[in-house]
Homo-oligomer: A and B are copies of this chain.
Amino acid sequence: MVKTLEWTDAGVRFIDQTRLPTEEIYVTCGDYREVAIAIRDMIVRGAPAIGVAAAMGVALGVRDSKATSRSALQVEFNEICNTLAATRPTAVNLFWAIRRMRDRFEQLASSPVESVKRALIEEAQHMYLADIAACEAMGRHGAVLMPSSGGVLTHCNAGALATCGYGTALGVIRAAVEAGKKIHVFADETRPFLQGSRLTAWELNKDGIPTTVIADNMAGAMMKQGKIGAVVVGADRIAANGDVANKIGTYTVAVLAKEHGIPFYVAAPWSTIDLATPDGDRIPIEQRSAREMTHMAGKQITPDGIRVENPAFDVTPHRYVAAIITERGIAKSPYAESLQVLAAAGAIPEQQTAIATP
């Protein structure tokens, strides 16, 4: 399986997602500032991968610190966390991961600097392994929701490349295929960054899962033609009421799915669920550079001086969502209740499927 990101002695190593699918190039970020740049410039992207990348960035920054006292280290630690937190505003996993590293740092308030460094590296590596395990658990829980055969539409890339491995939405598809389901994936190309045509198509092609790339605007026609039996997407943040922030265009897909009576599923690790945010209206939506819209492969595709919109995400209200698949189990409407049930369940054993449908 592709190594989306990896801790190495030289730093955090990423597959450069801006170069796929034609070039498989790995870059190593030698310090935490380079990790922050890699997140901001989408060399690594996908909410779960961003979270673990940030944790590894924190570990790297602390490891490289020259501080000899706790108080000096604390100053540096805050600077490291702030730099990494300022990269992308929407995916809550980023803040969750930094918070978790901060909690660990605070637990070690009286430990020597060297053991703090070791413990933070271990913590980031534990988060890496836990992310893969969470994806595999989502796959087990979600596979039963997939049709036994036919087309499944996904948007953006919620795959191995968006996580530490296996994927969220694509993990559900992988698990369904492993269980013998005959699924043909329809991958929205996902303008402007083309995560679908570049990344989802690349990783599914590598796995031999039949995949057809469509332009985002073809999803309606494919559904009308009866080619799509289910939709499954990832998420960047899920509010307490079940509203889902995900890649721009997800809401359009959800509306189309509703119109055609097709179930719309969201797969995301528990770290994506933000119970402190009551609904989708409170989720900050990142606006990205106009150049992603005005240029393509270096070529200008809009006239000089034209206005563009480039929100990186949109919010799908919970009423469009048939189920939220997490490693803790599956939540169904009403989400304000079912997500609380999963929250209370805490870290239940991963081999157990909790179906939380109040």
CB distance from A159 to the nearest CB of B (A): 13
Is the CB of A67 closer than 8 A to any CB of chain B?
no
Structural contact, A191 and B191, CB atoms closer than 8 A: yes
Contacts of A338 in B (CB 8 A): none
Structural contact, B219 and A252, CB atoms closer than 8 A: yes
Tally chain A residues at the interface, Cβ within 8 Å: 58
Is the CB of A136 closer than 8 A to any CB of chain B?
no
Is the CB of A210 closer than 8 A to any CB of chain B?
yes
Please judge, given known A-B contacts A293-B213, A293-B215, A306-B205, whether A252 and B248 are in contact too, CB under 8 Å.
Answer: no
Structural contact, A217 and B191, CB atoms closer than 8 A: yes
Considering the complex, give the chain B residue whose CB is closest to the CB of A258.
Answer: B259
Is the CB of A180 closer than 8 A to any CB of chain B?
no
C-alpha spacing A291/B253, complex, angstroms:
25
Contacts of A68 in B (CB 8 A): none
Contacts of A214 in B (CB 8 A): 308-309
CB distance from A90 to the nearest CB of B (A): 13
Structural contact, A217 and B308, CB atoms closer than 8 A: no
Q: Which of A29-37, A120-128, A294-302 contacts B (4 or more CB under 8 A)?
A: A294-302
Contacts of A192 in B (CB 8 A): 215
Interface residue from B201, B258, B308 paired with A302 (Cβ < 8 Å): B201
Please judge, given known A-B contacts A259-B255, A293-B189, A300-B22, whether A215 and B215 are in contact too, CB under 8 Å.
Answer: no
Chain A 149-192: CB-based contact to B (< 8 A → 1; otherwise 0): 00000010000000000000000000000000000000011111
Contacts of A191 in B (CB 8 A): 189, 191, 215-217
Q: Which of A99-107, A220-228, A266-274 contacts B (4 or more CB under 8 A)?
A: A220-228
C-alpha spacing A306/B249, complex, angstroms:
22
Q: Which 7 pairs, one residue from A and one from B, show the smallest C-beta to C-beta distance? A: A217-B249, A220-B252, A297-B299, A216-B217, A191-B215, A221-B314, A21-B303
Q: A21-B301, A197-B302, A217-B217 are in contact. List 5 more A-B contacts (CB 8 A).
A: A212-B306, A213-B307, A218-B311, A252-B256, A296-B297
